[in-house]
Amino acid sequence: MDDEKLVRSALKRVFRKCNYEIAEALDGLEALQKLESDFFDLLITDNDMPNKKGIELIQDILEGKTAIKNPAHAIILFSGKGRPENLPPEIEFMEKPWEDEKLRQRVKEIEMQLEAQK
């Protein structure tokens, strides 16, 4: 979830060959609507978005203020401005710009963890 089209395109490029289903959202409110209407294993979100920042979306999810389909999914928060002070320690943080291979590897690790939990 990112408000910048170039960033969303770059993320899709990173995962093009990984056979993941990818959904896009332009802001935190659209992301919330998608999370409430479909099932996702992983949320990758930017922090600086209009309408609802990534950290606000994450807090709503963790505090149960949403009706999302899968509240136990993994979350990665991106920001080019450093890790937000109020980001819970269990939430993964990656600095923008990210390294493609590092991001792919981390998502693969998350996928393996989720598979092991099933």
Tens digits of per-residue pLDDT, 26-75? 888 899 899 999 988 899 999 998 888 999 999 998 888 888 877 767 99
Per-residue pLDDT of 73-97, as tens digits, reads 799 999 999 999 999 998 999 999 9
If pLDDT is split at 50, 70 and 90, which confidence band does 21 have?
A: confident
pLDDT at residue 108, rounded to an integer:
93
pLDDT at residue 66, rounded to an integer:
84
pLDDT at residue 96, rounded to an integer:
92
CB burial string 78-109: b at 16+ within 10 A, e below:
bbeeeebeebeeebbebeeebeeeebeebbee
CATH 3.40.50.2300 describes domain 5-117: yes
- Domain layout of the chain by residue ranges: 5-117
